[in-house]
């Protein structure tokens, strides 16, 4: 199968250079990649419902007879609507199609078909819009649905996959050694590939998914283990490590025990004979920035440079100001570099970096531009690491000659999972908040309480505080008409409830200057209420704002909600987070209540893991590893544990994967981890 990854997709009939570009867009430029492009869903025609019993608003299959003639209706130029009635012994449905003459002609009056689509019930009427249908002779079919892109429809991908399948050799070499397959009851690769695309039945589909998920996780585990063993390099930037007391004396507060412990863990790394590769996990507000500052100070005092990369200009500026303040009384040259830095200034900064005049540089992606060079870069730090891809983080590290690498993350991951996902780095956890932090009172309410909440916000503002209001959208679109959009919402607040107050608006489509301008106004309390999208999720620090209102809270993940809540409760004032949701789903309500019950990010992550399975953590690509297509959807942690055990077993028997039985596995790992010898995953 491995060699199919070298065979261009154009080899397939009907794929020319134009279509090749489309396949490339969906990450399938080769035959092998196409076979590994798994369907996003299936149309299961194998178990049709009776119309009366069919669920509402979820995709399902029904078996029905065409019981009327097709009626054609020209709605406007270029838009024709077709209506037809279908029925079984329990009820009938009005079906609508648009512009699909060729397909709809196949629906012959009096004949029976299987229809797949969503049923809508409006009063006593039942309707279906543009269902897919097949003759009943195909009744056992489970059809794959692929994520399509403009110009490349699911059925075209399906046809290509069918062709590609014919190129699979009879005996496909399986990367999972046979004894492992037997031990964990996994089916072989050929069976899995066939059945993930064209399942013979639901059981076979299940087995195929299980096996392919296992394979992804096994590859991940093995790749990470090998990376970890190659990650460690001889330390070229050994520090003295005696500067911490001096650093502490520069602060206006004392460090928490957790901060001191984590700083020590990092200092010990940088003093040792190996390069540091460490992840710091610390809940929002736990004080990661000051830890970063301490380490920068150490490296600078030992004569080297440090670089800190953050995902937004707002955050870069905030860190820069914080560093400036701490280091105001000592001789440390700190510089800010972002996309808005003037060209002339950038030129100067480049020179000063290259000649070693700058000790600490704080910036955005600009730091990894090709034309940036350092003279003696000893430490690179990536803050809010999940916002960066692995190659961006690696690029920052490649600006030096194997510098120490630190990444910081505020997205807590349950310990069990972190050990697995971050198998290639050491982990430090800041599990303590700076003193004086109050619990943020958190409430879940429905929208009928909105006006009462506005009153409450007014009261807080009148006491001098500020508020955030977060909405899921920037502007309304047709498909999301029931969600609240920031632009119109801000407008409404300005002209209604909050006429006498300053309401600001910030969202991701604004450019960096606009965002900075709004943020600085908010920081100066020239804006009382900031209506925003999740752009404020990352790191923003305005201690005077004490209330966070989240509209359509059910649209956000638990960790995201927790991050948003972390924007308040950063100063000395009592703070509140209010989530509005009208969701009736029991699962959603349970999830949202979990946020109300605790302020501890790790507990919330544990709860999320229990409720939604590990897929969310793996799928969010925080690790920046090979794409986990199926494992990202996984609901059950057991496969992950099995894969971890299997990986340990394989590597303890054959650490270099040099035995014959592991040859295919080794080739697969090499394909998936092309940078395996360069190290630097974090
Ligand atoms: P995060 O971990 O979310 O990045 P920050 O580094 O932004 O947190 O810190 C949040 C706030 O707490 C900042 O205003 C910072 O100055 C303050 N802070 C950090 N450590 C301490 C401490 N030990 N004592 C008091 N305040 C602290
Ligand atoms: Mg931070």
Percent helix, strand, coil in the chain (nearest 5)? Answer: 45, 20, 40
- Characterize the bridge pairing of strands 426-430 and 277-282: parallel
Report if residue 174 sits inside a domain.
no
**How large is the average pLDDT for residues 183-193?**
96
Task: Give the per-residue pLDDT at 241.
Answer: 81
Compute, in angstroms, the gap from residue 574 CA to the centroid of ligand 1.
Answer: 17
Dist CA 617 CA 623 (whole Å)? 9
Q: How many domains does the chain have?
A: 2
Q: Any residues with Cβ below 6 Å from ligand 1, and which?
A: 253, 255-256, 259, 282, 284-290, 410, 434, 539, 541, 570
Report if residue 376 sits inside a domain.
no
Compute, in angstroms, the gap from residue 383 CA to the centroid of ligand 2.
Answer: 7
Contact, 173 vs 153, CB < 8 A?
no
Dist CA 406 CA 425 (whole Å)? 10
User: How remote is the C-alpha of 583 from its chain's centroid?
Assistant: 23
Question: In this predicted model, which residue has the larger pLDDT, 57 or 348?
Answer: 348
With cut-offs at 50, 70 and 90, classify the pLDDT of residue 195: very high
Instruction: State which of 254, 261, 262, 285 you would mutate to test the pocket of ligand 1, scoring each by most atoms of that ligand within 8 A of its C-beta.
Output: 285
Per-residue pLDDT at 26 exceeds 70: yes
The enclosing domain of 71 has a CATH number of: 2.40.50.140
Per-residue pLDDT at 391 exceeds 80: no
Report if residue 480 sits inside a domain.
yes
**How large is the average pLDDT for residues 236-262?**
93
Residue closest by Cα to atom 23 of ligand 1: 255
**How large is the average pLDDT for residues 163-189?**
93
In the listed set 120, 139, 158, which residue is the last one of a domain according to the structure?
A: 139
Q: How many residues does the chain have?
A: 682
Instruction: State which of 262, 289, 291, 294 you would mutate to test the pocket of ligand 1, scoring each by most atoms of that ligand within 8 A of its C-beta.
Output: 289
Dist CA 17 CA 142 (whole Å)? 31
With cut-offs at 50, 70 and 90, classify the pLDDT of residue 679: very low
Q: What angle do CA 93, 94, 99 make, to 5 degrees?
A: 135
Compute, in angstroms, the gap from residue 58 CA to the centroid of ligand 1.
Answer: 46
In the listed set 598, 631, 662, which residue is the last one of a domain according to the structure?
A: 598
pLDDT tens digits, residue range 425-447? 788 989 888 887 778 999 999 99
Per-residue pLDDT at 585 exceeds 80: yes
Dist CA 654 CA 666 (whole Å)? 11
Q: What angle do CA 608, 613, 618 make, to 5 degrees?
A: 95
Ligand 1 atom with least separation from CA of 318: 7
Question: Which residues have CB under 8 Å from 449's CB, separation 6+?
Answer: 580
Residue closest by Cα to atom 25 of ligand 1: 434
pLDDT tens digits, residue range 90-141? 999 999 999 888 888 899 999 999 999 999 998 889 999 999 999 998 877 8
**How large is the average pLDDT for residues 9-34?**
91
Residue closest by Cα to atom 22 of ligand 1: 434
Residue closest by Cα to atom 27 of ligand 1: 434
Dist CA 33 CA 453 (whole Å)? 52
In the listed set 139, 166, 195, which residue is the last one of a domain according to the structure?
A: 139
Per-residue pLDDT at 624 exceeds 60: no
Task: Give the per-residue pLDDT at 618.
Answer: 64
Task: Give the per-residue pLDDT at 501.
Answer: 96
Report if residue 421 sits inside a domain.
no
With cut-offs at 50, 70 and 90, classify the pLDDT of residue 680: very low
Residue closest by Cα to atom 24 of ligand 1: 434
Residue 636 DSSP code = -
**How large is the average pLDDT for residues 294-314?**
95
**How large is the average pLDDT for residues 368-394?**
88
The enclosing domain of 470 has a CATH number of: 3.40.50.300
Greatest mean pLDDT among 53-62, 283-292, 357-366 lies in 357-366
Compute, in angstroms, the gap from residue 285 CA to the centroid of ligand 2.
Answer: 7
pLDDT tens digits, residue range 213-242? 999 989 988 988 887 777 668 899 999 888
Task: Give the per-residue pLDDT at 623.
Answer: 46
Report if residue 478 sits inside a domain.
yes
| Domain ranges, residue 552 | 440-598
With cut-offs at 50, 70 and 90, classify the pLDDT of residue 183: very high
Per-residue pLDDT at 645 exceeds 60: yes
Please, what is the average pLDDT of the chain? Answer: 89
Question: In this predicted model, which residue has the larger pLDDT, 621 or 69?
Answer: 69
pTM confidence score: 0.67
């Amino acid at each position: 199968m491995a060699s199919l990854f070298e065979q261009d997709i154009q080899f397939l009939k009907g794929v020319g250079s134009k279509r090749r570009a489309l396949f490339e867009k969906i990450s399938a430029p080769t035959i092998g990649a196409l076979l590994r492009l798994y369907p996003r869903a299936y149309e299961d025609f194998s178990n049709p419902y009776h119309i009366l019993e069919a669920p509402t608003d979820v995709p399902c299959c029904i078996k029905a007879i065409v019981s009327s003639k097709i009626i054609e209706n020209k709605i406007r130029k270029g838009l024709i609507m077709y209506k037809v009635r279908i029925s079984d012994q329990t009820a009938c449905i009005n079906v609508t199609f648009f512009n699909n003459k060729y397909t709809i002609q196949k629906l012959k009056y009096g004949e029976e078909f299987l229809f797949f689509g969503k049923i809508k019930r409006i009063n006593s009427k039942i309707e279906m819009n543009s269902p897919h249908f097949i003759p009943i002779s195909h009744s056992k079919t489970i059809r794959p649905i692929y994520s399509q892109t403009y110009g490349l429809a699911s059925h075209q991908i399906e046809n290509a996959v069918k062709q590609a399948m014919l190129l699979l050799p009879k005996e496909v070499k399986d990367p999972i050694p046979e004894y492992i397959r037997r031990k964990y009851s996994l089916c072989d690769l050929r069976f899995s590939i066939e059945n993930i695309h064209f399942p013979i039945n639901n059981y076979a589909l299940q087995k195929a998914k299980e096996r392919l998920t296992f394979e992804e996780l096994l590859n991940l585990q093995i790749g990470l283990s090998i990376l970890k063993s190659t990650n460690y390099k001889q330390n070229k930037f050994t520090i003295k490590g005696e500067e911490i007391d001096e650093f502490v004396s520069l602060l206006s507060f004392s460090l928490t025990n957790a901060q001191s412990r984590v700083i020590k863990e990092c200092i010990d790394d940088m003093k040792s004979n190996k390069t540091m590769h460490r992840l710091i996990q610390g809940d929002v507000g736990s004080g990661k920035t000051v830890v970063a500052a301490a380490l920068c100070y150490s490296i600078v005092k030992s004569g080297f440079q440090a670089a800190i990369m953050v995902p937004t200009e707002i955050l870069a500026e905030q860190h820069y100001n914080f560093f400036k303040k701490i280091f105001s009384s000592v001789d440390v040259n700190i510089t800010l570099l972002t996309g808005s830095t003037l060209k002339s200034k950038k030129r100067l900064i480049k020179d000063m970096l290259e000649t070693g005049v700058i000790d600490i540089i704080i910036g955005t992606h600009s730091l990894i531009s090709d034309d940036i060079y350092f003279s003696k870069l000893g430490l690179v730090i990536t803050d809010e690491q999940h916002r960066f891809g692995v190659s961006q983080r690696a690029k920052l590290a490649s600006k030096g000659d194997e510098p120490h690498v630190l990444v910081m993350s505020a997205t807590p991951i349950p310990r069990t999972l972190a050990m697995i996902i971050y198998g290639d780095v050491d982990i430090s956890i800041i599990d303590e908040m700076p003193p004086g932090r109050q619990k943020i009172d958190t409430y879940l309410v429905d929208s009928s309480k909105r006006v009462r909440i506005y009153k409450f916000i007014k009261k807080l503002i009148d006491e001098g505080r500020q508020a955030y209001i977060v909405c899921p959208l920037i502007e309304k679109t047709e498909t999301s008409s029931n969600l609240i959009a920031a632009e119109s919402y801000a407008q409404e607040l300005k002209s209604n409830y909050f006429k006498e107050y300053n309401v600001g608006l910030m969202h991701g489509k604004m450019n960096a200057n606009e965002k900075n301008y709004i943020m600085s106004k908010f920081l100066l309390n020239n804006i009382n209420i900031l209506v925003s999208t999740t752009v404020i999720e990352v790191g923003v620090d305005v201690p005077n704002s004490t209330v966070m209102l989240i509209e359509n809270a059910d649209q956000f993940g638990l960790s995201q909600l927790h991050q948003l809540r972390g924007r308040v409760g950063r100063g000395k004032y009592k703070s509140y987070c209010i989530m509005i949701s009208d969701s009736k789903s029991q699962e959603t309500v349970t999830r949202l209540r979990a946020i109300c019950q605790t302020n501890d990010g790790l507990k919330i992550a544990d709860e999320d893991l229990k409720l939604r399975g590990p897929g969310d953590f793996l799928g969010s690509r925080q690790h920046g590893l090979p794409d986990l297509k199926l494992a990202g959807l996984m609901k059950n942690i057991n496969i992950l544990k099995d894969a971890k055990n299997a990986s340990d077993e394989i590597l303890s028997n054959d650490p270099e994967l040099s035995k014959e039985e592991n040859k295919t596995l080794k080739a697969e790992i090499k394909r998936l981890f092309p940078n395996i010898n360069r190290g630097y995953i974090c």
